[in-house]
Structure 1
Amino acid sequence: MKVLLVLALSSLCATAMANEAPTDAAQQQPVVEEYTYSTHLDIAKVVSMSDVPNVCEVVPAKMEYDDSKGQRHILRYSIMGNGCTN
């Protein structure tokens, strides 16, 4: 009987610890920063950039990069689409 109780409690603890792992990973995600003309950019390495759509208007874009200290950042900015002919 005691063995069953210990097994039940240990499986409950393992499940609780498994549920905590995604929240730790979610907290490590960088906050999306909005670009302004006064934003100081410290870009050491560009990790990824969003694709620019084929439209003739201003569209939002994102860039993920590492700074000189190795911290990951996500920057949201506006860019002109690739669909303009002139």
Structure 2
Amino acid sequence: MKRTALYAACLFAALNICTLSARAESRVQAQTYSYGTELDIQKVLSMTEDAEPSCGVVNARMTYLDSQGRTQTLDYRKFANNCNDGN
């Protein structure tokens, strides 16, 4: 019985941590990349792109920590991951 309660408490704590980080990430104002933008990237947290069914240029977003540990978000354009034939 105590083991089940411990597992439930651990699961609840993990869910709370995930919820707090998601809320903190949603408050970050995204910066749009342009050529020459100075970037201070210490650690990349996530990278996403528009869901495009074919090869082409898509919008992408990178969420990262800067050297001061603050969460930053960068919007940029890139070739889709579907472009795997080297072109």
**Shorter-chain TM-score above 0.5:** yes
TM-score by length of 1: 0.60
Aligned residue for 1:61? Answer: 60
Look up the SS of the partner of 2:37 in the other structure.
Answer: coil
Structure 1 unmatched runs, 5+? 1-24
Q: Which residue of 2 aligns with 1:6?
A: none
Q: Distance in 2 between matches of 1:40 and 1:54?
A: 32
2: CA distance, partners of 1:78 / 1:31 = 17
More displaced stretch, 53-62 vs 71-80: 53-62
Please state how far the C-alpha of 1:35 moved relative to its aligned partner.
0.3
Tell me the C-alpha RMSD between the 2 structures: 2.3
Matched, 1:44 2:33: no
Identity of aligned residues (%): 41
1:50 is paired with a residue of what secondary structure? strand
Question: In the alignment, which residue of structure 2 is the partner of 1:14?
Answer: none
How far apart, CA to CA, are the structure 1 residues paired with 2:46 and 2:81? 18
- Equivalent residue, structure 1, for 2:81: 82
Specify the SS of the correspondent of 1:79: strand
Rg (Cα) greater in structure: 1
Alpha-carbon offset, residue 46 of structure 1:
0.4
For 1:82 and 1:46, the matched residues in 2 are separated by 18
Alpha-carbon contact 2:49-2:80 (below 8 Å) kept:
no
The one-character-per-residue Cα deviations of 1:5-48 (angstroms, maximum 9, x if unpaired) are xxxxxxxxxxxxxxxxxxxx67x811011000121010000011
Runs of 4+ in structure 1 over 6 Å off:
none
Q: How many residues align?
A: 61
